[in-house]
Amino acid sequence: MFRSCIALLVCLCAPIGVFAWGTVGHRAVAKIAENHLSSTAKREVARILGTETLPLVSTWPDEIRSDPQYKETGPWHYLNVAAGLDFPAFTAQLTATPATPPANAYTALLQVRQDLKDPKKTAAERLFALKFLVHLVGDVHQPLHVGHGEDRGGNSIQVSWRGRDTNLHSILDGDLVEYPGFTYSEMATAYDRATNAQIKQWQKNDVATWLFESYQLCTPIYAAAAANPKFDYQFYPAFGPSVQQQILKAGIRLAGVLNEVFAK
C-alpha cells in the first residue's frame, strides 16, 4: 500500500557515501547561525555543548557514520525523490504516514528538533540531538541531498571536474564549496549578508519549503550534467552563487530553529 511512497522517500540503492558541504561548508553554516542566535539560545547552546562549539560539532554526524553503533543514522543525511514533482506532490510524499515511517533527512530533522526541545531527554540525548540538528539543516540545503532516487542524488552520474573524474554529487558536496579557497570563518564572513527581510522570510519557511527549494535547484544541475558532463571553469560562475545562497540560508534557518527551540 505504501510501497510507492517509500520508494520515493528512501534511497533505492546504497547509501550516499559523500558528505554535504564538507567540513568548511558545514562549519560555515554553523558559524553563520552563531551570528544570529538570541542571547538565550547562545547560553543554552553553550550549556549543552560544554567545551565544544557549534561549528566544530557540525561535522560530527559525518565523522561517526563509519561506526557500526550509528549505522542507523546513515539514511538521515538525505532524501531521494523522483523527478518532476510539484510542491503539493512533493509535500504529500513528505507527510504521508506509512506504518513504518522511512528514515530520511526530513523525518530525522523533525525528530532531533523535537528531542532537543524535550525537557525529559537526558543531557546526552539533547547533545546528540543538537549535533544532528546543526548538521542536518546544512545537509538539506545541499540540492543533491534532496535529489533523484534513481541516480542516488547524483552519485551515479559520472562527470569530470576540471579534468578529474568524479560524480555529480561530489562536485556539489565539495568542489563548488571549496572553490573560493575560504576557511569556514572566512566563508561565514563573506556570505553572511542577508537582509532583515530575507532573514524574516527564510526563518518563517517550514522544513518542507527548505527541502523543495533544494529539490528545485537540482533541475538545472542535472540539466548541465546531461548537456556536457565535462565541467570546467565555467561551472562555478553558473552554480557557485546558488551554493553560497544555500549555505547562507542554512545558517539563517538554523539560527531560527535554535532561537525557537530555546525561546522558553
Cell of 63: 565523522
Cell of 88: 503539493
Per-residue model confidence (pLDDT) at position 117: 95
**β-strands 164-167, 230-231: how paired?**
unpaired
- Amino acid at residue number 23: T
Per-residue model confidence (pLDDT) at position 3: 39
Q: What is the pLDDT of residues 131-141, one digit of tens each?
A: 999 999 999 99
Our count of domains for the chain comes to: 1
Rounded distance, CA 200 to CA 262, Å? 18
Query: Which string of DSSP letters, residue by residue, matches 19-79?
Result: -TTHHHHHHHHHHHHHHT--HHHHHHHHHHHTT--HHHHTTHHHHTTTSGGGGGGGGGG--
Q: What is the pLDDT of residues 91-150, one digit of tens each?
A: 998 888 775 677 999 999 999 999 999 999 999 999 999 999 999 999 999 999 999 988
Rounded distance, CA 122 to CA 128, Å? 10
Query: Which string of DSSP letters, residue by residue, matches 147-216?
Result: -BGGGTTTTT-EEEETTEEEEHHHIIIIIHHHTT---HHHHHHHH----HHHHHHHHHS-HHHHHHHHHH
- Amino acid at residue number 194: A
Q: Count Cα atoms within 13 angstroms, Cβ side, for 176.
A: 29
Backbone angles phi, psi at 148, to 5 degrees: -90, 135
Q: What is the pLDDT of residues 139-189, one digit of tens each?
A: 999 999 999 988 999 999 999 998 999 999 999 988 999 999 999 999 999
The side-by-side arrangement of strands in the sheet containing 164-167 is: 164-167, 158-161, 230-231
Per-residue model confidence (pLDDT) at position 149: 86
Range of the domain at 200: 3-261
E strand or H helix that includes residue 83: none
Per-residue model confidence (pLDDT) at position 8: 40
Per-residue model confidence (pLDDT) at position 99: 59
The alpha carbon of residue 218 and the mean position of all alpha carbons in its chain are separated, in whole angstroms, by: 14
Q: What is the pLDDT of residues 35-82, one digit of tens each?
A: 999 999 999 999 999 999 999 999 999 999 999 999 999 999 999 888
CATH of the domain at 60: 1.10.575.10
